Structure 1
Amino acid sequence: MVYDVAVVGSGFSAIAETVNLLRLLPPSASIAVVGDDPGFGRGTAYRTELHVHRLNVPAARMSIFADQPDDFVVWLRDQKRGVPPDGFASRDDFGRYLRDRLALLLRNRDTRPTLHFIKAKATACDQCTVGRVAFQLDNGTNLEAANVVLCLGVGNAELPVDPAGVKGILRERIVSNPWRLGWLSHVEPSQTVCILGSGLTMVDQVLALRAHGHRGRIHVLSRRGLASHPHLTRKVVPVVPELPSSREISMILAALRRQVRTGADWRGVMDGLRPLTQGLWQELSHAQKSRFLRHALAWWNIHRHRLAPDVFKRLEALLGDGTVTVRKGFLQTIEEDERQLAFAFRPRGGVGGIRMRADWIINCTGMERAGIAHSPLLRQMLEDGLISADKLGLGICVSRNAQVLDRDGSTQPGLFAVGALTAGQFWEITAVPDIRVQARNVAVAISEYLPGVADI
């Protein structure tokens, strides 16, 4: 069987694409969803069952449907969750919402396309021509589709240093992927934990440790030592940013800072900038994008990706009483030291090194830079020239309508990508409000190739 569309992946991007295809394609169409994650659609972020893990976007902006922005708020109300539109729901609730909305669409068998879930990983692409993309799956079968949407996300960044000399039980206490939550149950209440990275993942893991009864010290080490700012408890009105005509990144940032210094709420300016971000990013030269990533990214992240107010209060209390300490510096080594892990780091702006000890080291340094290494399929497609890597290390190259570009920069007919893999083109493409629009646009583009599609 040759499917009309194959969605490759099982995280949020995959479910966003799937629900849009179910809504837009005719009953005669066929869809295959290929992924090996039993919690389809919940991905890493929304499979957690800890209530302390909150969304960092208000509920009113978290609908999976771009044309029904209040849908998640309606679901929360129907479930009697007590979260207002400007409140911050738990990630577990959002995962349940995604499951329920997919189930609702699947019930309409007579009016929706055929949908098959294939529990497997796509490991290689055998053919990529007009009207036919063929994949090998790790269950020994093959899959063919006229259109394919890659929703593979990006992997976790590797540890900054290689702990090759650490063996045995101490090696097991170096957690490369903190979202494999089994490690939490092995942490003793009084043990010392070192977390590498100070972003949102660090906050999640600190709260998870406390929820599991941990009461020991937590050292946080990152290059800049910056943690995310909070959302306000009151609603913030977006402010139209006063952007200069120049597309020099230093002049853009200077203009935004000047606007804030003269009285504009910086949160309002950031929120006002959001609808413009993708277009602004696409206007920047490669050199200007590179400058932004080198010098401004850390500050962008802590202002743009803010914490729910109650989450920030919990973190602030732990910082205030010294349970959590944040240091800025560069990790140099991880070694064994009797029954503990010893790590050395060089303070930012300093000389020499500082040596400390911990019982656990947790890698929360974020996403892998290239965005491809985690996937055997993407590595093979890159080697064969079917895709090309973004020059800034932000996933793969795609056109402005999310069509995949090959080694020569040509679009691959019928081959699309959605989500974090496309950050090189769209930059602001990791949050639900952006992905849902992209997923719908791709579904519309695919629908135009298929016969029998009703007017949308």
Structure 2
Amino acid sequence: MSYDVALVGSGFSAICTAAHLLSSLPADASIAIVGDESDFGRGTAYRTELPYHRLNVPAGRMSVFPDRADDFLDWLRENGIGDDPLLFASRGDYGLYLRDRLASLLRSREQRARVDFIRAKASACLPDDESGFAFTLENGERLHAQNVVLCLGVGAASLPVQTITKDEARPQHVIGHCWQPGWLSRVKAGDRICILGSGLTMIDQVLTLRGKGHRGPIHVLSRRGLVPHPHISPPLPPVDPCLPKDTTEISCLLRALREQVRSGIPWRTVMDGLRPKTQSLWQSLTPEQRGRFLRHALPWWNIHRHRIAPEVHAAFEKLMTEGVLEIHAGYLRSVDEQDEGIVLRYRRRHTQILRELQVDWVVNCTGMERAGIGHSRLLETMRDDGVLLLDSLGLGVEVDEQSRLLRADGLTWPGLFAAGALTAGRFWEITAVPDIRVQAQRIAQCVADRVSSRHRISAQV
């Protein structure tokens, strides 16, 4: 099987890139979409059917097409859901929107490239003699593509400490990856739960538990005990950040932002004004400055930058006010699974005091894995084969400004791209829809130019 382009992955980056490819490739082109998810494009984030799982960005900024800003709003209106651009729509509705828009493009019979969905995982990808790439699939099949876009995201971080298990045969109540299937159905209404990590994923899990009938106590343990801030409604207009022009030292940048906020400007407006500049600012930092930001400023960046819908924050705050949920700031020392439950030991932040929590479940929500590829056999094989390089800060893979993968000699692989969170080392702000859709459009245009050029040359031969 040979294709002009292969998309590898099943989440938002893949569906967004596919939509832009279908809009830009010539009609005689061919696309292979390789992934093992039955519900292509929705992924874990947008497959949820729980109404309290909300987008963290207002509907007016969530169109999959950068040049059709109201497309998602049009879909909401057509489906009788609403027409407010400030609405924080449910993630399930957004997943349905993605499905419908892709289906509409696939139904078009005019000037549309051929698309084959290949339900399989790719295990290897190597450049071949035809100036393209050869894939080996886990089902034993092989395929060739002139262009490849890796849309595989990054994996979840492992547990910060090793679990001491008393009986290997009993069902495990230490959940290493919160999105693994099945564990929620085993939780009893009164079970005591500890969630490791206090970011957006933690909030999702807390609301999921309550929505499924859980009424027991919930503890949240993270090193700093910081939780995401809410959006305010209606939002205030963004304000341009006053950044120093003669330095990119992290301490100086943060000091300038703090001074602007202390002068009376609401911090949300400063953060929103900073957002369009974030990618260029990140790329102006040296590797040492980026590392310093990740070590010292990242937790505070996350809770101010990645805010949650007001109604989600209200539901979360209610649980804290009622004493159902308690936040602990400290450093995990051990997880000991015993007959009577699980004992966690941690050191309280800023002290040498050791505390214990006894719970029935421990759920890992500590964020993304460093290096970003442990979840994918394909990416690990490509690294071992020298086809891709890991970002030096452990944020994903090395790419250039056009999202093409870098080779060991510093050059790029023509026709080999990565999209989405895998490219955070280059772009940093590349996990939200407004950023990924722009990247996907640019990748699709690069691929379309290569395919059109190759087809013209073939026609002349």
TM-score under structure 1 normalisation?
A: 0.97
Alignment of 1:304-383 (within 5 A): 304-383=305-384
> Do the aligned residues in 2 keep the contact of 1:76 with 1:82 (CA within 8 Å)?
yes
Name 2:138's counterpart in structure 1: 138
- SS at structure 1 position matched to 2:447: helix
What one-letter code is carried by the residue in structure 2 that aligns with 1:398? Answer: V
Shift of 1:291: 0.5
Shift of 1:324: 0.5
Name 1:252's counterpart in structure 2: 253
1:339-392 alpha-carbon deviations (Å, 9 max, x no partner): 311111111121142111110101111111110111111111111111100000
Unaligned runs of 5+ in 2: 456-461
Name 1:33's counterpart in structure 2: 33
Shift of 1:330: 1.1
Name 1:288's counterpart in structure 2: 289
Shift of 1:169: 6.8
Unaligned runs of 5+ in 1: none
> Given the alignment of the two structures, is residue 178 of structure 1 paired with residue 178 of structure 2, yes or no?
yes
Alignment of 1:206-225 (within 5 A): 206-225=206-225
User: How well do the aligned residues superpose, as a CA RMSD in angstroms?
Assistant: 1.5
Distance 2:169 2:294 in 1: 37
Name 1:6's counterpart in structure 2: 6
> Do the aligned residues in 2 keep the contact of 1:125 with 1:134 (CA within 8 Å)?
yes
Distance 1:46 1:290 in 2: 32
> Do the aligned residues in 2 keep the contact of 1:83 with 1:89 (CA within 8 Å)?
no
> Do the aligned residues in 2 keep the contact of 1:334 with 1:341 (CA within 8 Å)?
yes
Shift of 1:243: 0.9
Name 1:449's counterpart in structure 2: 450
Shift of 1:130: 6.6
Distance 2:160 2:294 in 1: 18
Of the structure 1 ranges 375-384 and 174-183, higher mean CA displacement relative to structure 2 is found in 174-183
Shift of 1:336: 2.2
> Do the aligned residues in 2 keep the contact of 1:334 with 1:343 (CA within 8 Å)?
yes
Distance 1:40 1:194 in 2: 32
- SS at structure 1 position matched to 2:146: strand
Name 1:81's counterpart in structure 2: 81
Q: Relative to 1, partners in 2 of residues 1:112 and 1:93: Cα closer, same or farther, differing over 3 Å? A: same
1:113-138 alpha-carbon deviations (Å, 9 max, x no partner): 00000000110124356731001001
What one-letter code is carried by the residue in structure 2 that aligns with 1:420? Answer: A
Name 2:385's counterpart in structure 1: 384
Distance 1:316 1:41 in 2: 32
1:186-210 alpha-carbon deviations (Å, 9 max, x no partner): 1111110000000000000000011
Distance 2:200 2:275 in 1: 19
Shift of 1:168: 4.4
What one-letter code is carried by the residue in structure 2 that aligns with 1:191? Answer: D
What one-letter code is carried by the residue in structure 1 that aligns with 2:237? Answer: V
Shift of 1:164: 4.5
Shift of 1:105: 0.2
- SS at structure 2 position matched to 1:201: helix
Alignment of 1:118-267 (within 5 A): 118-128=118-128, 131-168=131-168, 172-245=172-245, 246-267=247-268
> Do the aligned residues in 1 keep the contact of 2:166 with 2:339 (CA within 8 Å)?
no
Instruction: Give the number of aligned pairs.
Output: 454
Distance 1:352 1:380 in 2: 44
Distance 1:327 1:420 in 2: 29
Name 2:459's counterpart in structure 1: none
Shift of 1:409: 2.2
Distance 2:167 2:266 in 1: 51
Name 1:401's counterpart in structure 2: 402
Name 1:116's counterpart in structure 2: 116
Of the structure 1 ranges 351-360 and 50-59, higher mean CA displacement relative to structure 2 is found in 351-360
Distance 2:107 2:236 in 1: 39
Name 1:419's counterpart in structure 2: 420
> Do the aligned residues in 2 keep the contact of 1:189 with 1:214 (CA within 8 Å)?
yes
Distance 2:167 2:131 in 1: 51
> Do the aligned residues in 2 keep the contact of 1:170 with 1:340 (CA within 8 Å)?
no
Of the structure 1 ranges 405-414 and 427-436, higher mean CA displacement relative to structure 2 is found in 405-414
> Do the aligned residues in 1 keep the contact of 2:388 with 2:407 (CA within 8 Å)?
yes
Name 1:62's counterpart in structure 2: 62
Distance 1:90 1:201 in 2: 15
What one-letter code is carried by the residue in structure 1 that aligns with 2:30? Answer: S
- SS at structure 1 position matched to 2:127: strand
Shift of 1:69: 1.1
> Do the aligned residues in 2 keep the contact of 1:4 with 1:30 (CA within 8 Å)?
yes
Shift of 1:322: 1.1
Q: Relative to 1, partners in 2 of residues 1:238 and 1:50: Cα closer, same or farther, differing over 3 Å? A: same
- SS at structure 2 position matched to 1:451: helix
Shift of 1:59: 0.5
Distance 1:260 1:166 in 2: 52
What one-letter code is carried by the residue in structure 1 that aligns with 2:409? Answer: D
> Do the aligned residues in 2 keep the contact of 1:6 with 1:34 (CA within 8 Å)?
yes
Distance 1:217 1:33 in 2: 43
Distance 2:425 2:296 in 1: 17
Shift of 1:166: 4.5
Distance 1:453 1:280 in 2: 36
> Do the aligned residues in 1 keep the contact of 2:126 with 2:382 (CA within 8 Å)?
no
Shift of 1:167: 3.4
Distance 1:222 1:439 in 2: 34
> Do the aligned residues in 2 keep the contact of 1:170 with 1:336 (CA within 8 Å)?
no
- SS at structure 1 position matched to 2:43: coil
What one-letter code is carried by the residue in structure 2 that aligns with 1:428? Answer: E
What one-letter code is carried by the residue in structure 2 that aligns with 1:235? Answer: P
- SS at structure 1 position matched to 2:45: coil
TM-score under structure 2 normalisation?
A: 0.96
> Given the alignment of the two structures, is residue 103 of structure 1 paired with residue 103 of structure 2, yes or no?
yes
Distance 1:415 1:282 in 2: 21
What one-letter code is carried by the residue in structure 2 that aligns with 1:45? Answer: A
